[in-house]
Amino acid sequence: MSLTLRIAAVLLTLLGAITVPVASAAPPAVLPMVVSNDSGRSEAVHLYLTGVNTQTGRLGYVTAAGVFTPWPSGSIPPSPAPDVAIPGPGPGAATTLRVPLHFSGRMYMSFGAKLRFFLTPTGLVEPAPWAPGDPNRDILFDWSEFTYNGSGLWLNSSQVDMFSVPHAVEVTASNGQVRRTGTLVADGRARIFGALQGEWARLVHRRSDGFPLRAIAPRKGIELGLFPASYFAPYVDSVWSEGRTLVVAPFQHNPAVRFTGRVSGGVLHFTDGSGARVASFGRPPSKDVFGCDGVLHAPNDQVVGPIARSLCADLNRSTLGHHPTSPVWTAADYYTRAITNHYSKAMHANMVDGRAYGFAFDDVGGHESLVHAPDPRSARIALTRF
């Protein structure tokens, strides 16, 4: 499931008590998605639309004409996927892609070289440049994520796995209203890489000529042995200290819903208003904090998931245990302590509007680089200067 499809599912669950305005127009069968190139770079740009038909569950790609096409069957070891690159825009130009309704996936953009995808009998092997053997490791590329269905378009820039190519995302509604996010401040790309110092600098992968291709997320760094696996341990231990009590009020629109947690035997147990135990969390290792999974796995429900999301967000933002309730909604309180997610901090600090997807649950409190319209007329991904 793509990040945006997961976002859409979570929002529909968590916002069920909110009255959502009826869209003024149904989403078109094929949505124009303009990719503009103001990057200032001269390399050829290659575009890809890969993902899933949300009605059938079939994995596939979308052609330049906007036609969803299932992938052919792959093999073990994975076999090369067909070349489905769509020629992208030259400097100062734009290319219009066409996204069919009921499609969720990624729009990849690469500079100078085409990406290599592979197929197994059950699915697609996407580029994973944090892996030393990945053939795309030395290619400059990135992606945006989106879901387009009967409820509209969700489109986001994502730094959850890595940061590489600056790009803004935009949607225009049927009434002409434009929503845009993901624009970096001037020289923001260099500022982000410059902010990753000390052990965090090991997350930056550079080309042989020294050009920084990308910064990978700390969870990826831990998996590769590039980043300390115990980074969050002192902070987690302080929160999971015996007898510690925490209060989680996970619904910003309904703060009366509260869960009380108390640490007993190294486990943080939560009870609801009636005193019934509803959720329990052991001490999460650092990889689970950065990844918002494992011990902090958040099911798509109304209790355990919202509590887990709140804990993960506040741990990454170094606010858990320092405020009366969790999550903390105010961005000015985030990333103020030494042990914090400095990768995510750098992303937010260098966005014009402060919004980014530095970790999976960065949408807690609405601080994510996401645009949505229930009645989209068009979308845009703007490759910005770097």
Catalytic residues: 145, 161
Contact 133, 16 (CB under 8 A): no
Alpha-carbon span 144 to 169, nearest angstrom: 8
Structure tokens at 254: 């309904």
Q: In what order do the strands lie in the sheet with 123-125?
A: 79-80, 118-120, 123-125
Range list of H helices, the chain: 3-14, 188-195, 218-223, 233-239, 286-291, 304-316, 342-349
- Burial (CB count within 10 angstroms: exposed 0-12, middle 13-18, buried 19+), residue 244: middle
Contacts of 266 (CB under 8 A, 6+ apart): 240, 242, 282, 283
> Rounded to whole angstroms, what are the CA distances from 195 to 67, 181, 316?
42, 21, 17
Tell me how crowded residue 157 is: count the other CB atoms within 10 A of its CB.
29
- Which residues pair with residue 153 across a beta bridge? 148, 373
